[in-house]
Amino acid sequence: MGVELVLNGHMHIPVTIRSAQGIVLAQAGTSMSTRLRHGHNNAYNLIAVTPDEIRVRIMEHDPQQDKFLPRGEHVFPREKRD
């Protein structure tokens, strides 16, 4: 079995893409830091992996409601393995 998903952070900007090699790269924002970047609020990734797909939901803090709300979702089909 090969690598299908890489989790990373540090840049404080949420980004989720599939690389040219087919690996899903899920970079979380920052859930608690006050050092926010480029207008992004605090955020984290909620990830679900099933036999058919990898689903990455971005949960972003809404200061007016003082809670994390879904901001976007990326769904990547998984390759069938023998």
Higher per-residue pLDDT: 74 or 32: 74
Domain count, the chain: 1
Task: Concatenate the DSSP letters of all residues of 9-74 into one string.
Answer: -SSS--EEEE-TTS-EEEE---SS-S---TTPPSEEEEEEE-SSEEEEEEEEEETTTTEEEEEEEE
Structural domain of residue 72, as residue ranges?
Answer: 5-77
With H, G, I as helix, E, B as strand and everything else as coil, classify residue 77: strand
Share of the chain above pLDDT 90, in %: 59
pLDDT at 28: 84
Q: Is 44 within a domain?
A: yes
Task: Report if residue 82 sits inside a domain.
Answer: no
Give the model's pLDDT for residue 45: 94
- pLDDT, one tens digit per residue, over 5-32 is 999 877 677 889 999 999 999 998 776 6
Q: If pLDDT is split at 50, 70 and 90, which confidence band does 36 have?
A: low
